[in-house]
Structure 1
Amino acid sequence: MAGDASGEGEDSRDAEPPRYRVLILSQEGQPVEIIGFTAYGDDAASAIAKSMVDGHAIELWCARRLVGRFEPEGD
């Protein structure tokens, strides 16, 4: 999911960025917290979600689309 190849990329920043949701999951896999944020694409959103992994698995969603699931290291 590479960025726009139209040069500087400034035009893509004029549009409203997509809304994402991070679900912080319990050990049983149930959401214990939901955090919404905007990011310019899946790669940026994934980096933000990965930084939230702290002993709990994280699911990253954009609308109804699961972008990724990130597990805590060592589990």
Structure 2
Amino acid sequence: MPWGYYAYVIGDDGHIQNRVEVHCDNDEEAKRCAEQLVDGHAIELWQEARKVATFQPKGHPPFQP
């Protein structure tokens, strides 16, 4: 049974704009899927309360509060 991962689309202001459910069997597969969602916004990949990875769009620095 695939694990429940969520990919959060992070806006330029650092707030969540959208959440995408990702069904994958392991972290590596989930990372590959989440990285494909990067399209001008950062993506944070989570499994429940565990942050798995962050993906930044090319040419954009990470959000700094």
TM-score over 0.5 for the pair: yes
Q: Give me the whole-angstrom Cα distance separating, in 1, the residues matched to 2:22 and 2:52.
A: 14
Q: How many residues align?
A: 60
Structure 1 stretches of 4+ moved >4 Å: none
Q: Give me the whole-angstrom Cα distance separating, in 2, the residues matched to 1:36 and 1:52.
A: 11
Q: Which protein is bigger by CA-based radius of gyration?
A: 1
Q: Give me the whole-angstrom Cα distance separating, in 2, the residues matched to 1:55 and 1:36.
A: 19
In structure 1, stretches of 5+ residues that fail to align are: 1-15
> 1:35, CA displacement in angstroms?
0.7
Counterpart code for 2:39? D
Which has the larger helix fraction?
A: 1
SS at match of 1:22: strand
* TM-score, scaled relative to structure 1: 0.77
SS at match of 1:33: strand
SS at match of 2:2: coil
Counterpart code for 2:56? E
> 1:28, CA displacement in angstroms?
1.0
Q: Give me the whole-angstrom Cα distance separating, in 2, the residues matched to 1:55 and 1:33.
A: 13
Which has the larger strand fraction?
A: 2
Alpha-carbon RMSD:
0.6
Counterpart code for 2:53? G
> 1:32, CA displacement in angstroms?
0.4
In structure 2, stretches of 5+ residues that fail to align are: 61-65
* TM-score, scaled relative to structure 2: 0.89
